[in-house]
Amino acid sequence: MASSKFETPASLSERELQIIELVANGLTNLEIANRLEISKRTVDNHISNILTKTKTDNRVELVRWALQWGKVCLNDINCCTLPIPSPQET
């Protein structure tokens, strides 16, 4: 499933990671703007920058990239959880 297109990690800001998570949750740019209390144009610019940095062509590829690199968690898929130690280990 891994594509060579997604082999490169990208350095993203906290805001860009926040926007990727909202994209992965299915929000439109306008909904993201309303949620983050920023303009839609700012979201558009962030999305454009994120697509460039991640070398992805669209939102679907972006979400696939984010899943591959562990940048988002969807419905308990691709989530890192810390193991709970058993009573013998504590």
> Is there a domain that residue 2 lies in?
no
> Is there a domain that residue 26 lies in?
yes
The stretches of 7-58 forming alpha helices (DSSP H) are 14-24, 29-36, 40-54
Structural domain for 20, as ranges? 13-89
> Is there a domain that residue 3 lies in?
no
Compute the distance between CA of residue 49 and CA of residue 47 in angstroms, rounded to an integer: 5
> Is there a domain that residue 38 lies in?
yes
Token couple for 73: 């968690």
Domain count, the chain: 1
Q: Considering the entire predicted model, what is its pTM? A: 0.75
Q: Domain with 40 in it: what CATH number?
A: 1.10.10.10
Per-residue model confidence as pLDDT tens digits over 32-68: 999 999 999 999 999 999 999 999 999 999 999 998 8
> Is there a domain that residue 5 lies in?
no
> Is there a domain that residue 45 lies in?
yes
> Is there a domain that residue 7 lies in?
no
**Beta carbons within 10 angstroms of residue 80's beta carbon:** 6
Mean pLDDT of 67-79: 75
Q: What are phi and psi of 75, to 5 degrees?
A: 45, 50
